[in-house]
Chain A
Amino acid sequence: MDKDFKVEITSDVKKVTKRIAFIKDRDAARVKKVDEDMVMTFPNLVIREIIAFQVMVIVLVLISLFVDAPLEWIANPEHTPNPAKAPWYFLGLQELLHYFPPVVGGVLLPSLAVIALIVIPYFKINLKKDGLWKELPRQTLTGFLIFVGTVSLVLLLFRVYAMLVPTIIVSTFMLIPYFSKRNNIFIEWLGSRPLSWWIMTWFVIIAVVLTTIGTLFRGPEWSWTWPWQRIY
Chain B
Amino acid sequence: MQQPGDRIFAASARGAGILILVVLAGVAAFLVIQAIPALVANPADLPGGKNIAVYVAPFVFGTVVSSAIALIIATPLAIAVALFITHYAPRRLAQGLGYLIDLLAAVPSIVFGLWGLAVLAPAMLGLSTWLNTYLGWIPLFAGPVSVTGRTMLVVGVTLAVMILPIITAVSREVFLQTPKLHEEAALALGATRWEMIRMSVLPFGRSGIISGAMLGLGRALGETMAVAIILSGSSIITFNLISSGNSSSIAANIALNFPDSTGVAVNTLIASGLVLFVITLLVNSLARYIINRRREFSGAN
A and B from one complex: no
